[in-house]
Amino acid sequence: MNVRQLDISRRSIALAAALIGTVSLAIGAHAALNMRSLDAAKAVSTDQVTGSVGQSSRLALVIGNGHYPDATAPLTQSINDARALSSSLRKSGFDVDMVEDASKDDMVRAVNRLKSRIKHDTTVMLFFGGYGVQAGRESYMLPVDAVIWKESDVRRQGVSIEGVLNMMKEQGAKAKLVVVDASRRNPYERRFRSYSHGLAPIGTPDNALILSSASPGKVVDDGKGEHSTLVSELLANLNAQGSAESVFNKTRVAISRASEGDQVPAVSSSLLEDVHFDQAGG
């Protein structure tokens, strides 16, 4: 190979290397641009989801716990109740977070999700169906993985209803609605009490409305229907005209009459304004 041919070969190699470098830079720039586009798309999608969540003024956390390992039989009504109530509330414009057979971690996460979404104009509803136990002056919702042998375990293993209500208040919720269907005889109290005490009176913060399946200190037996007595009557009255307070009171009266006074739900209200389940009512 002569000198001229060697120079041509060197120039060809250099040109090819330069061309390869240019193509590599172009490919890298294109990939980076695509990555930035994907990241931007994700950000827009997240903002859209967050925005829609933040705009909701009617939130509900519905918990139905039915399969407790310590119980002799599952509480099938609690699961049915949670599903039916969730469906009805969604039709009424509530953004519903429903949890079934929740562990302690599941319940804590659900409460934290609710907390993060409450705004000052939000109407918030909590429903719990399952086992509840009174400890001290508070009533606790029990997760399905609760391990309870003494009263102090209830405070550690359970989730305080008053605690959730106080969280709603601290977050500035406009109105707070609570339905508790947990006044049942349960396998946990038998380990440290001679009988089931029912639930304690639930403290009512400002602008709150609370419906419990039985009067404080009372327990009720589950029926044989698809839904509990409380939820059956509540669903029947939920779409009726009138305020949420009138719906809860109609439910209480219907159950009391049907049971001839054996079961008298408790209604406690400190509402400062009318709240309606139907969107047309406000």
Q: What is the pTM of this model?
A: 0.80
Model confidence pLDDT, tens digit, residues 9-24: 555 545 444 444 443 4
What is the average pLDDT across 55-59?
A: 79
pLDDT of amino acid 54: 42
pLDDT over threshold 80, residue 158: yes
pLDDT over threshold 50, residue 8: no
CA-based R_g, the chain, Å? 29
Model confidence pLDDT, tens digit, residues 211-241: 999 999 999 988 889 999 999 999 999 977 7
Helix count (H) and strand count (E) of the chain?
Answer: 7, 9
Model confidence pLDDT, tens digit, residues 111-143: 999 999 999 999 999 999 999 999 999 999 999
Count of other CB atoms within 10 angstroms of residue 188: 25
DSSP string across 232-269: HHHHHHHTSSS-HHHHHHHHHHHHHHHTTTS---EEEE
Instruction: Check if the beta carbon of residue 96 is closer than 8 Å to that of residue 90.
Output: yes
Instruction: Check if the beta carbon of residue 268 is closer than 8 Å to that of residue 202.
Output: yes
Of residues 50 and 183, the one with the higher pLDDT is 183
